[in-house]
Structure 1
């Protein structure tokens, strides 16, 4: 199935952000999935103050990742991101019904963000 992950990492070094993305990507790949694309959205303000891992955040470094995997792998990704202290917020959304004809035309980039 095709999933879209929108995540907000605590702002700081670009290396931390790359490590979070690499961790997620490697989990998808080692469980037989495919990463279709990654978009870096840079640092911006969060919609509201968020308290996570004993810290209050007003900004986050956003990224978008589209990937194909089975539901069990998607749960592993969500569980890992939920306990990662670098993550502020994230959302994983299923795109399409999992049929090849539904998701074959979906690209890795988010056209609406350009």
Structure 2
């Protein structure tokens, strides 16, 4: 199952109501066959701009972050369910990238003693930089007899 991240902004409420809203949010994930990896409280902060939700205008919210695994077919249902919850001001679900297997290169003392210009990793970075520098260069044979961008 792929991993997802759910960012939830809750309206300002007493602690008991926040707990019940978070429990409803988590139960919806469990009912759809998912499981939660992490729940993080990011605190109560002002919203960058006024947000209208369920007939009320909000300027502050409690931010919570869920990391969960769920089948992809259930994400639309979860998004709709959270949209109907009157305690949730805003919700966003993002798919997390798959963890990449890191390729560990063996480093020897001989490689470390060499000057940077002779190291393979530095040579690859220089080649990449030269390739990108040549990519964006203006071509003077464009058919114009002048440089159009005020040199």
Length-normalised TM-score, structure 1: 0.80
- 1:32 Cα deviation (Å)? 2.1
1:56-95 correspondence runs (5 A): 56-95=57-96
- 1:58 Cα deviation (Å)? 0.2
CA RMSD for the aligned pairs? Answer: 1.7
Q: Conserved in 2, the CA contact under 8 Å of 1:44 and 1:61? A: yes
Between 35-44 and 22-31, the greater mean CA deviation after superposition = 22-31
Alpha-carbon distance between aligned partners in 1 of 2:72 and 2:49, rounded to the nearest angstrom: 30
* Structure 1 gaps, min length 5: 105-114
- 1:71 Cα deviation (Å)? 1.6
Runs of 4+ in 1 over 3 A off after TM superposition: none
Residue in 2 aligned with 1:107? none
Structure 1 residues 66 and 103: alpha-carbon distance in aligned structure 2, compared to 1, 3 A threshold: farther
Residue in 2 aligned with 1:51? 52
**Residue 40 of structure 1 pairs with residue 44 of structure 2:** no
Residue in 2 aligned with 1:10? 11
Structure 1 residues 65 and 10: alpha-carbon distance in aligned structure 2, compared to 1, 3 A threshold: same
Residue in 2 aligned with 1:28? 29
- 1:103 Cα deviation (Å)? 7.6
Alpha-carbon distance between aligned partners in 2 of 1:22 and 1:42, rounded to the nearest angstrom: 17
Length-normalised TM-score, structure 2: 0.61
